Copies of this chain bind each other. A is one copy, B any other.
Amino acid sequence: MFLRNVWYVAAWAQDLPSEGMLARKFLNERVILYRDTKGAVHALRDQCPHRAAPLSVGRREGDSIRCMYHGLLFDGAGKCIEVPGVERIPPNLDVQAFPVREQDNIIWIWMGDPALSLKEGPVRLEATSSPDKWFYEPGYLHYNQASYQLIMDNLLDFSHLGFVHENTISGGTASSEVRAQIERFETGVKISRKYYDPLGVPPAFKPLAKFTGPADRWQIYDWRVPGNLLIMESGNARAGVGALEGNIPEDAIRFSSVQALTPETETSTHYFFMQAHDDAERKEEFNDILVRGVKTAFLEDRAMIEAQQRVLIEEPDAPMNAIPADAALNQGRWILKRLLEAENKVSAVA
């Protein structure tokens, strides 16, 4: 089950070239994304209404897409504008178009009722759209075998950090014992963790650090259930100078990051991520260290979550017995359940 009437991340803007197409599946539907000659983005169902050939084996021609089986031509709104050898275009040959927006260096897609997409645009993201303040390289991982819900569980759970990421973004198992503050909102969860870490800056971020020794660390964390978006402010400062009370010293490291999960199928997921830093001088170098460091950690998650998914595919009703650290993920699941029910109730009425 997927929420449909929400904006999902379809691609990083830079991953959609000016020529060609990008074929991806979202919420079990095949989609092609392309830019017209003015750079505007279009999203069409990747299936010709004539004989069901995928348009992704077709080609872009100017502002349009041509199916290369029998030559039907479609404009960016999905309208069939040419059938070779035919004066008058027969009925029912338009292809479904999906609402898209390009905003904050992200291409967003709406897989639900197009009319509802007009109400509100995608959430604004400072981290991806403040080129003078935040520096980053966008990242992408494909989960071949994991439902977005299992990855969402993972992102709402800090207790795995010390185990799964012992040698990357967590420095040791101590951080798994820190209790997080959790606030629940209508459509999301806010999690805050502030703690003293005797092991200091974790391995993946060490190359960026301007201090050594123990650290005060914080992670302020907004999880938005619609669109599966994580927006996080985090940082590491020299311990004992009051960073956790707001006196953040000059030599602290600060991050602003965004992660997004877009379901591909029930058991596969697109995972978009970025982690921005604010060091203008060493911009490129730090971009590179961060995108690789974070990706290494997310590959650790992926190995664990896909192993978990394999068990659940064999035993879909495997028992899940709670521990206190599940508080946030349980809140997230509860909100998701409520939103799914609401959406399906509305469409049942409509």
Per-residue B-contact encoding for A143-172, CB less than 8 Å = 1, 0 else: 000000000010001011011100000000
Copies in the complex: 3
A52 touches B323 (CB 8 A): no
Stretch with Cβ within 8 A of B (4 or more), from A65-73, A107-115, A269-277, A281-289? A65-73
Nearest chain B CB to A149 CB, angstrom units: 11
Interface string of A33-63 (1 = CB under 8 A from B): 0000000000000010111111001000000
Query: Contact at A163–B68, with CB atoms within 8 Å?
Result: yes
Is B52 touching A324 in the complex (CB atoms < 8 A)?
no
A-side interface size class: 35 or more
Give chain B residues whose Cβ lies under 8 Å from the Cβ of A177.
84-85
The segment from A9-17, A97-105, A242-250, A310-318 found at the interface with B is A310-318
Is A325 in contact with B85, judged by CB distance below 8 angstroms? yes
CA distance A106 to B163 in the complex (A): 34
User: What 0/1 pattern do residues 269 to 305 of A give for CB contact below 8 A with B?
Assistant: 0000000000000000000000000000000000110
Say whether, besides A52-B312, A53-B304, A53-B307, A90 and B319 are in contact (CB < 8 Å).
no
**Are A86 and B324 in contact (CB-based, < 8 A)?**
yes
Main secondary structure of the interface of A (DSSP, over half): loop
Cβ contact of A85, chosen from B49, B52, B159, B318, cutoff 8 A: B159
A interface residues, Cβ below 8 angstroms from B: 30, 47, 49-54, 57, 66-72, 83-86, 90-93, 153, 157, 159-160, 162-164, 173, 176-179, 303-304, 307-308, 310-312, 314-315, 318-325
Besides A52-B320, A71-B173, A90-B321, 18 more A-B contacts (Cβ < 8 Å) are: A30-B311, A30-B314, A50-B321, A50-B322, A51-B320, A52-B311, A52-B315, A54-B307, A57-B304, A68-B164, A70-B159, A70-B163, A71-B159, A71-B163, A72-B323, A84-B162, A86-B324, A92-B319
